[in-house]
Structure 1
Amino acid sequence: MNKTKFAQNIIKFRWPIVTIAPLLIVLLFILNIKKAGFETDFKIWFDEDSAIMKNFDHFKETFGSDDRLLIALRSEDGIFKKEILKSIQEMTNELWQVKHIARVDSITNFQYVHVSKDDEDEIIVEDFLNDIDALSEEELRQKEEFAKTDIQTKNLLISEDGKAAVIVARMVYSKHMAPNDYIDLYNDANLLIEKYRLKGVEYHNMGIPAYTNAFVNAIQSNGKTFFPVFLITIIILLAIIFRNIWSVILPISVVFLTILFIAGFTFGLGYKLNTITSMFPIFIIAIGIADSIHIFWVWKHKQEEGLDNNESIIFSIEKNFTPALITSLTTFAGFISLGISKIVPLQAFGLLLASGSLMAFILSILFLPALLSVINPKIKVKIQKANNLKKFIKRYTNFIIRNDKLIITIWVLFILVCTIGIKDVSVDTEFAKQFSKDMPIRKSAEFVEKNIGGTIPIEIIIDSKENSGIYEPQLMKDVDNYSEAFKQKFDRIRHINSLTQVVKRYHKLMNGDTDEFYKIPQSKQLISQYMLLYSLSLPQGMGINDMMDVDARYLRISAMMNISSEKKKFEMYEWSKRWWKENSKYTASIEGVTMISGHMRLQLTDTMIKSISLALVLVTLIFWFTFKSKFFMGVSTLPNIAPLLITIGLTGWLGMDLDLGMAIVFVIIIGIAIDDTVHFLSKYKAAIKKGETPIEAIEESLLLSGSAIVITTVILVLGFGTFLFSDFALYSNFGLFSSIALSLAMVFDLMLLPAIISIIERKRVKN
């Protein structure tokens, strides 16, 4: 390709380029902006046809939704005060009327199974607390003691010390629940809390609606806060560094048009914004700024040396077209590698930013030079400044060459020490941990855990392998034994509930209410009768069809656990499978929304391994086809891989878990940090082709790309660094490690890379 002719044609057709391109992009955006929206449901993380989602849907179709809304409260004087109990009763009753709520349980409407005082042969099932005002102080005390010790209420509906309680509202199962439906439920719960708030009582709103609200707020608030701050930071830095209005307008124009294109492209394909895809403008700014600054810097440098506007444009395109194309392809390779992930938002994120990298290249190499030609900015000739920069580059190059062995030794030792931390790396995608401990949602979760029980549901489904099989005494005994062993094995489990508790209570009551009969009966028929009697005695809406399927083949065990790592959840999962295999003829599986996040951990680990491997292979191929030289492949290997190894190692040293934000950082390292290496080596190769010595070639590479590398890195590090102040761990972790990785990439490309070239070239000359 004749780059000079290409540059001349851009200048020739500058007016069509600067008018048609923006119009087409704006039109694409306008046509599709109406399709924009948010998605926060857990189902978005996996394809609907995946085995994970099929199991998840089967669970919900069989037992109903495991989505819960929790209203937790605490009084230092105790919950069993008539005023507090009546407020719980009122909130319980009103929650039944709220849209999307299928069932509400609290200490007031807990179905109390007991023997009638008037007839010892009659078993009554009724609300635990009916006419609260009619209860005497002694009756209230007896009720409290029962609630604090009974297995069906302790640490589920009321705390063991009687000072905290929770109202649990289970949601209806629907495939059409939208984020706004969850947020409406969260707001309805807040209205109820305010309506019945009592002095001296602490209230918290928890559950899936609360998490959904927190995720949407995180997306919106970070978009409203950190995106503008990031953009303003970049604008200020561009203005300070270049001290020229066009240095701000031109790169921002490229970025703005690329964002509009990706937004129109995204919404046009039907994608919605979520915690991952909502970050695309940040990355587009990074990609667009990097491409634009390299072109703008060389153009400005030649202007200061005395070339006219069009000559400077042509020179900049000649020097930057190939490296800009290569960097766009490596960035494309880094992001498109996410396409193999089974986590749908990561797939979408990779596709969008891969296409964004190509659009940023097209706009940087076409639109920006055409706009420069149209506006013809006036840059003062500063030959002395240009000469001073050359002198500085010469001194710096000599320093690198004199100390090349020392530089390589120091950095290799640093890399080795950092990579030792890889052995301590762990992956965790627990949703609660994505929020800082200062955020209301995290405080509420910790309040519930500390005062009542866990907030994370674990659903264990037992398959009896035949209809009516759950009535088998042996199955019931196995469930009972498993529940006890499960709770003893894992201290994170706070409460376990199943129909075996109902069966044992009925058996006890039917045999004189003596403790020796609080056990599973030997008769299948008797178990069936107990469950039938219980279900017939329950009021409308309080049935047992959420604990067993209609054919009585599957039995559900519901456990509540404290916030735990995904590693611990899978330890529970593996232990449960092993327990049932070794101790029972029946089989069990752990299902529900908790396992969605658990599978995300596995898929994220798989994604990072496969995506990083694929990206490195693609980048290696691009490097080979570009440079076609073992020399260039060799010298680029350590500077390219080192930031990745160090960043992963640092997470181990710092004891931080790898999450979705970290997965994105690794892609940035491969897709964006390598750009600096490409710009340096492309200019080095061009200088060698002209017949310059290796030292002269290093000097020219540093002159034409070094300043641009420093400028883009400073801008991106300070820009990404603003996310360190986010309360959302996904964004704060991204801000921390992307800043570290990009800083290291700059240092390696401007110090380690020239030192490696110096060593290799010196040996080649000796040989």
Structure 2
Amino acid sequence: MARRLLNLALNHRKAVFWGLGLLTLAFSALLPLIQIDTDPENMLPADNPARVFHNEVKERFDMHDTIVVGVVNEQSVYNPQTLANLHSLSEFAEGLDGVIAPDLMSLSNVDNITQEGAGTLRFEWMMREPPDTQAQARTIRENVEDLPLLFNTLVSEDGKAAAIYVPIEDKNQSYAIGRELQSHIDGFEAGDDWHITGLPIAEDRFGYEMFVQMGISAPLAGLVIFILLWVFFRNIPFIVAPMIVSVSTVLITMGALIGAGFTVHIMSSMIAIFLMPIAVVDSVHIMSEFADRYRKGSSVRQVVTEVMGHLFTPMLFTSVTSSIGFLSLMLTPIPPVQIFGFFVGLGIMLAFLSTIIFIPAYLVSLNPATLDRMVDKLPAEDRSLVARVLPPLGKLARSHAKLWTVGFVALFAVSVWGITQIQINDNPVRWFKSDHELRIADRVLNDHFAGTYDAFMVLQSSSDAVDKAQSALTDASTNESLSEATRTWLKDQTLDSPESLSDLILALDDRLFEVGGEDADALEALMNQLEQLDSQSQAFLQPENLEYIQQLEQHLASTGLVGKSNSLADVVKTVNRELRSGEAEDYRLPDSADAVAQTLLQYQSSHRPQDLWHFVTPDYRESLVWLQLTSGDNQDMTAVVESVDQYLQDNPLPEGLNLEWAGKSYLNVVWQAEMVEGMVGSLISAFVIVLIIMMLLFRSVAFGIVAMLPLTLTITGIYGLIGWVGKDYDMPIAVLSALTLGLSIDFAIHFVERTRAYFRETGDWSKTMQLMFLEPGRAITRNAIVIAVGFTPLLVAPLVPYITVGFFLATIMALSALVTLILLPTVMTLLQRWLFRAS
């Protein structure tokens, strides 16, 4: 196969050039169809149970993604000017397209609940018009502090911050709506600090900046690689070839992804910057060895043939193993990670094919004078920095083999300990740098308020009322004392849901007007029985269930993990207080279901009756507890869930109730857990596959294991470093395992393959090692430098995931090359008689 591909490249050069050019243009034409997606919810499959339940909860309780706007005044927000601005912004927000105006929450459109008389309530707007005097502002403060539902939610406990909660129809509109809000804020007089935050706007803002970053990082990486290649080879026509391969690989791969209908997520946005350096790996090997072998007057075709004869097999296997490293990500249950892994793996194999066909064709097409000028400009082999450093390094590795081995074993042990210290955590707001306006807003508002991050506890009734009602209906329909018409009518009734039970009660009430005598008595008795069952199934009218919710809220408040919680119990207690005395001693739950129902009926007379259905469903069989958290970190959300689980274990739920979780903060925990488990599985699977490939490549179990040593030490070293420095294990860090697996083995394959070839030629171990730290060593070092430096443009990115990837990938490349050039000579020196006994 190698000979056929080389003949194609050398004998049909124009076809090769035109073919690559047209293919690149065709896929590049698909790039304008790009669609950006930064919603972490899409890290889970659409049919994931947690995601399905989350969306069902949002629909049932009419919950929406929300932008949080906060104003801070270090003296007090309760002053006429600040409250006037708050009122102005609230009215402006209500008129914006994409904003759900009835559910917007601010001081200007919520109710103040007071007692108008014995047993009656008065609902009036908290701040229908902004106050004209400081005295009026103080009155607003007194009213807010008297309403637990609003206090520390709309106005901070210290009185220095106020918030507007802006619900939106589509989270993809959040960045645009946020800019319109900011434009209105910019028109206010100075004196207050305004901030805009919330997970939806953070995610949408990241999408905008990610799109910009894609257009900067990949070209910048290409420029850096171009400069490095010029430093190595000092000839622009010569180094154009790998750049063509790199750029065409990126364009074709991204075009294929977009053309296939996939959205560009945070993961797939990194494909270009990943492929740009990786795509030149094989090219650098070819061009490095070509530059070392070519002399004036040499036959370019002959030199290219020799170089390709040496490098084709190791390049094939390095490309296959690199591709497997990324394709293993398809074993994870995270769709964006699967897409990322597939297309990077595809891009690597595309780069390999392009390299082995295009590079030989390009080199043979170059004017010999151009190659001669390159030879003149290149420093002598023994005068270059790389050439001066490598031989002493090889000698050092061989002469202190046992000492190096002890050092590597110690490093491995310490790395394993570091891995045990890794903390799994992520937070979309932390994808921005600490000085970003969103991070500042997040810190400021969460310092003042109970929290801008949401989580929902959903309690559901699993009452068997429907089954009992069906049994009662069946018994009645078979009662021989009833008329045939009544029994037939009863048999025609259906009971398959709690809603159908309420419908049947209404139908029985209507039927009573049509029958008499014994039929009427039986139907009335049945209706009373069903009403009792229906009342019992309305779990969240029962005081004991609301009392349990109240105790659970008190427990969460005592842990310090939750800033505040709001529930149906809080609504009922507030209304009950005003219905009775208006005093603190009546801020409690009523004693009966009827009394609870009366408070909720009264609440529905407010200006915002729909707010009730955010906490309970109209059939009172499901209830939602809204938790406000000051942190969006997965660790903190996990701690809340664990605290609730422990509470439920010590204090079981009332019979017939169960508890589930929903909310963005909880979904982040779910996909992080699945990602970690999936990454571990994919890494182990890929490791085993690569080990088998190494054994097949070298036709030796021993050499296969030896080739895996640098990879093993690099993976443990990098993840040990993450544990040592306390870097959270997040989405970008998780993907590094694939890159480490895919690229760390490349250097080992070239080193082992060339070592075996040289030993077969020389039969002398010392001579073999000397040769290895000449041409092969220079090629490995140049490749490591190109790839490592190629990722450094990410270090100046404004987005933390890109910085993380840039730093760790550069470190991975440097470490894996260094480990290969020291560990392999060390191990092979100690085991040379066993490894090379056949020779």
Name the TM-score, length of structure 2 as normaliser: 0.86
Query: For residue 485 of structure 1, what is the aligned residue in structure 2?
Result: 555
Query: For residue 445 of structure 2, what is the aligned residue in structure 1?
Result: 448
SS at match of 2:107: coil
Q: Displacement of 1:474 after TM fit?
A: 1.0
Q: Displacement of 1:97 after TM fit?
A: 2.2
Q: How many residues align?
A: 754
Please, which of 394, 414, 417 is the counterpart of residue 417 of structure 1?
Answer: 414
Verify: 1:643 aligned to 2:714, yes or no. yes
Verify: 1:74 aligned to 2:72, yes or no. yes
Letter in 1 for 2:329: L
Letter in 1 for 2:570: Q
Q: Quick check: 1:430–1:565 contact (8 Å CA) kept in 2?
A: yes
2 CA distance for matches of 1:695 and 1:363?
37
Q: Quick check: 2:105–2:164 contact (8 Å CA) kept in 1?
A: yes
Please, which of 368, 380, 386 is the counterpart of residue 385 of structure 1?
Answer: 380
Q: 1:745 to 1:247 in 2, by over 3 A?
A: farther
Q: Displacement of 1:338 after TM fit?
A: 0.5
Q: How does 1:28-427 map to 2 (within 5 A)?
A: 28-30=27-29, 32-102=30-100, 103-116=103-116, 119-133=117-131, 137-148=134-145, 150-172=147-169, 177=170, 179=172, 181-195=173-187, 197-304=188-295, 307-377=298-368, 378-380=370-372, 385-386=380-381, 397-427=394-424
Q: Displacement of 1:137 after TM fit?
A: 4.5
Q: Quick check: 1:496–1:557 contact (8 Å CA) kept in 2?
A: yes
**CA offset digits 1:370-429 (Å, max 9, x no partner):** 121223453235799357788986665444322222232333323333332122111112
2 CA distance for matches of 1:157 and 1:384?
70
Q: Which moved more, 1:120-129 or 1:737-746?
A: 120-129
Q: Quick check: 1:680–1:702 contact (8 Å CA) kept in 2?
A: no
Q: Quick check: 1:408–1:755 contact (8 Å CA) kept in 2?
A: yes
SS at match of 2:193: strand
Q: Quick check: 2:221–2:790 contact (8 Å CA) kept in 1?
A: yes
Letter in 1 for 2:551: N
Q: Displacement of 1:138 after TM fit?
A: 4.1
Name the TM-score, length of structure 1 as normaliser: 0.93
1 CA distance for matches of 2:764 and 2:296?
23
Q: Which moved more, 1:7-16 or 1:268-277?
A: 7-16
Q: Displacement of 1:5 after TM fit?
A: 5.5
Q: Displacement of 1:182 after TM fit?
A: 2.2
Q: 1:11 to 1:137 in 2, by over 3 A?
A: closer
Identity percentage over the alignment? Answer: 21
Verify: 1:666 aligned to 2:737, yes or no. yes
Query: For residue 572 of structure 1, what is the aligned residue in structure 2?
Result: 640
Q: Quick check: 1:462–1:587 contact (8 Å CA) kept in 2?
A: yes
Q: Quick check: 2:225–2:277 contact (8 Å CA) kept in 1?
A: no
**CA offset digits 1:265-316 (Å, max 9, x no partner):** 1012111222111111111112211111011111222213863211111111
Q: 1:755 to 1:86 in 2, by over 3 A?
A: same
Q: 1:524 to 1:411 in 2, by over 3 A?
A: same
1 CA distance for matches of 2:734 and 2:836?
42
Letter in 1 for 2:736: V
Q: Displacement of 1:61 after TM fit?
A: 1.5
Q: 1:404 to 1:437 in 2, by over 3 A?
A: same
2 CA distance for matches of 1:388 and 1:728?
41
Letter in 2 for 1:353: V
Q: 1:539 to 1:53 in 2, by over 3 A?
A: closer
2 CA distance for matches of 1:182 and 1:765?
65
Query: For residue 516 of structure 1, what is the aligned residue in structure 2?
Result: 585
Q: Which moved more, 1:432-441 or 1:413-422?
A: 413-422
Letter in 2 for 1:508: R
Q: Which moved more, 1:149-158 or 1:519-528?
A: 149-158
Q: Displacement of 1:683 after TM fit?
A: 1.7
Query: For residue 25 of structure 1, what is the aligned residue in structure 2?
Result: 24
Q: Displacement of 1:77 after TM fit?
A: 2.9
Q: Quick check: 1:333–1:615 contact (8 Å CA) kept in 2?
A: yes
Query: For residue 715 of structure 1, what is the aligned residue in structure 2?
Result: 786
**CA offset digits 1:200-247 (Å, max 9, x no partner):** 110011123420343123313322433333222111111112111134
Q: Which moved more, 1:348-357 or 1:515-524?
A: 515-524
Q: Displacement of 1:666 after TM fit?
A: 1.6
Query: For residue 521 of structure 2, what is the aligned residue in structure 1?
Result: none
Q: Displacement of 1:4 after TM fit?
A: 4.6
1 CA distance for matches of 2:134 and 2:420?
60
2 CA distance for matches of 1:607 and 1:439?
32
SS at match of 2:564: strand
Structure 1 gap ranges (5+): none
Q: Displacement of 1:125 after TM fit?
A: 1.5
**CA offset digits 1:592-632 (Å, max 9, x no partner):** 11111111220221122112111201211211221120221
Structure 2 gap ranges (5+): 464-536
2 CA distance for matches of 1:520 and 1:72?
32
Query: For residue 572 of structure 2, what is the aligned residue in structure 1?
Result: 503
Q: Quick check: 1:84–1:198 contact (8 Å CA) kept in 2?
A: no
SS at match of 2:301: helix
Q: 1:131 to 1:733 in 2, by over 3 A?
A: closer
Letter in 1 for 2:156: S
Query: For residue 535 of structure 1, what is the aligned residue in structure 2?
Result: 604
Please, which of 462, 465, 471 is the counterpart of residue 465 of structure 1?
Answer: 462
Q: Which moved more, 1:691-700 or 1:77-86?
A: 691-700
Q: Displacement of 1:49 after TM fit?
A: 1.6
Q: Displacement of 1:441 after TM fit?
A: 0.8
2 CA distance for matches of 1:765 and 1:17?
41
Query: For residue 816 of structure 2, what is the aligned residue in structure 1?
Result: 745
2 CA distance for matches of 1:90 and 1:591?
33
Q: 1:396 to 1:481 in 2, by over 3 A?
A: closer
2 CA distance for matches of 1:307 and 1:297?
16
